[in-house]
Amino acid sequence: MAGFLYLGSIAKHAALPVAAHALPPTDDASGMAIPPSRDRWYRAVDGLRPPQNGGLIKIRAAPGNLSSMLRNLDWSDQILYRTLDANGTSTWAVTTVLVPKTADPARPAVVSYQMSQDSASLDASPSYLLSTANENVRYDILDRMLLKGWQVVVPDYEGSLAAFGAGKLAGHATLDSIRVVHSLADERYGMNKTKALYSAWGYSGGALATAWAYKQWFGHANELGDRLTSYVIGGLPADLLETLHSLDGTMGNGLAINAISGLMSQYPQFNETIRSHAKTTGPLNITAFDRVKTQTFSESLIRYARHNISDYFVGGLDAVVRELQKVGFDKEVSLLDLPEALPRDLNKHAILLYHALADEVAPIRPVDELVRNWCNASHRIEFHRLQGGGHVQNGDRGIESAIEWITERFRSGFETGAQGRIIP
């Protein structure tokens, strides 16, 4: 296991000379990555020592050999930091910091890239997958951002329990990842903290984290309001219960099994409802939601492809959804209501949202409703409704537009004009 630095140990880097960025950390980064479920580093130390969310708990050089996958990477860190779960309880998460070989010290730019984890397995955490040459990691996207001189931050936004689908937790973890990196900007990463600008980008499950970060920044991390001002959101599952219905019986049904399992680990009411309705015998039963925590993303997709979710429950999926709606859980996990924000803050922030009309994973209906609600309240959204292709294809189609849009946000700030516009 690679070595790590505890709180207070960062001081030894503070006096290093800074050019485009600080010198790389001295910890040994040559060790093989260990799955988080077996890596003792993925544990908080002495409780949660920092009193503030986004506070550093410990840091180490990223294990594995990331530079073999990322040509434009200089060095990388893993940081374990304090955040809040969906219930407002203190917890921790891990983020990976990718430092480019070249950067503009006069205009330090950082992209928080929320990978599509889409799994209830802790061993599917981005920090681990990044270090293992995993086929599900978009190294090409990461390397393009590094080539632009952007520092890239990749949070494990599902947290310590791999709570896939828990939007509030994902938003908190994304914001607090940016906070902890910003706190180290000067002394460890050679960035002028007073000039640093941030953008957030995510697709699919990563879009859920990015959207919740936008929705919660005012109440959770208000001090980031002048720095984190642009968000790119694609393939967004805006209404999780509707998404479960859309996945039922499809090749992507494994996503639904993972989401149910992830939500069970975060919401006691949801966990109780699932366990009270799930079958306990037969080939499709409650054990699937525990088993999926030990499966890779690919394994779970194959294992549960074309299963009917209703067959796992007495009374079917509709009975479960009705019970959840009775207790207001549908609103708890929905993005459709308005984000917290003051009117004067809205012009500082902009969103690029892209979504396929025929998205078979995340239906576009709730996304259209979200855009109407948010734009009517003067939130600035550039909405691309993409024709042709489905969820996976439009994830690829949106890459160029996303990078160009972020580049422009970093270059010249936000455009003026209409508060929101829809591009067919």
Q: Residue 106 above 90 pLDDT?
A: no
d(CA 344, CA 359): 34
pLDDT at 21 over 70: no
| Same-domain status, 219 and 173 | yes
CA angle, 338 then 339 then 340, to 5°:
120
> Do 293 and 309 reside in the same domain of the chain?
yes
Last residue of a domain, one of 332, 353, 377: 332
Whether 24 maps to a domain, the answer reads no
Indicate the residue among 332, 366, 382 that finishes a domain: 332
pLDDT of 112 above 60 = yes
Interval 16-33 mean pLDDT: 48
What is the per-residue pLDDT for 225? 87
pLDDT for 46 = 63
Asked if residue 15 is part of any domain, the answer here is: no
Task: For residue 202, give the CATH number of its domain.
Answer: 3.40.50.1820
420 versus 352: which is more confidently predicted? 352
Q: What is the pLDDT of residue 11?
A: 37
- Let me know if residue 13 belongs to a domain: no
Q: How many C-beta atoms lie closer than 10 Å to residue 315's C-beta?
A: 11
* pLDDT at site 31: 81
Strand partners, 384: 354, 423
Identify whether 16 is part of a domain: no
Structure confidence by residue, pLDDT tens digits, 159-190: 999 999 999 999 999 999 999 999 999 999 99
The CATH number of the domain holding residue 305 is 1.10.260
My answer on whether 164 and 145 are in the same domain is yes
Residues 186 and 76 in one domain: yes
104 — pLDDT class (breaks 50, 70, 90): confident
**Residue 48 clears pLDDT 80, i.e. is over it:** no
Side chain identity at residue 262, one-letter code:
G
d(CA 55, CA 57): 6
Residue 406's closest CA among 128, 137, 200? 200
12 assigned to some structural domain? no
Q: Judge whether residue 421 has pLDDT over 70.
A: no
Report the catalytic residues.
Answer: 204, 359, 391
Q: Please give the Cα distance from 266 to 320 (Å, whole number).
A: 17
Burial readout 233-252 (b: 16 or more C-beta within 10 A, e: otherwise):
bbbbbbbbbbbbbbbbbbeb
Whether 10 maps to a domain, the answer reads no
> Tens digits of per-residue pLDDT, 116-141?
999 999 999 999 999 998 988 999 99
**Domain range holding 117?**
47-238+344-411
Is a pLDDT exceeding 50 seen at residue 67? yes
Q: Of the candidates 307, 332, 357, which is a domain's last residue?
A: 332
Residue 66 and residue 76 in contact, taking contact as beta carbons nearer than 8 Å: yes
DSSP annotation of 239: B
Q: Read off the pLDDT of residues 363-374 as tens digits, 9 standing for 90 and up.
A: 999 999 999 999
Domain identity same for 124 and 196: yes
Residues 90 and 127 in one domain: yes
Indicate whether 55 and 161 sit together in one domain.
yes
Please say if the pLDDT value at position 44 is more than 90: no
Same domain for 261 and 179: no
pLDDT at 304: 95
Per-residue pLDDT at 420:
44
* Per-residue model confidence as pLDDT tens digits over 212-260: 999 999 999 999 988 999 999 999 999 999 999 999 999 999 999 999 9
**Same domain, residue pair 55 and 110:** yes
In a shared domain, residues 299 and 348:
no
Tokens of 242: 């509707």
Which pLDDT value is given to residue 27? Answer: 41
User: In the block, which residue shows the tokens 């489905």?
Assistant: 390
My answer on whether 152 and 221 are in the same domain is yes
pLDDT tens digits for range 270-316: 999 999 999 999 999 999 999 999 999 899 999 999 999 999 999 99
Residues 274 and 233 placed together within one structural domain of the fold: no
pLDDT mean across residues, the chain:
88
Per the structure, how many domains does the chain have? Answer: 2
Q: Tell me the per-residue pLDDT of 182-194, one tens digit each, with 9 for 90 and over.
A: 999 999 999 988 8
Sequence-ordered list of residues with C-beta below 8 angstroms from that of 309, at least 6 positions apart, any chain: 244, 247, 248, 249, 253, 256, 257, 260, 317
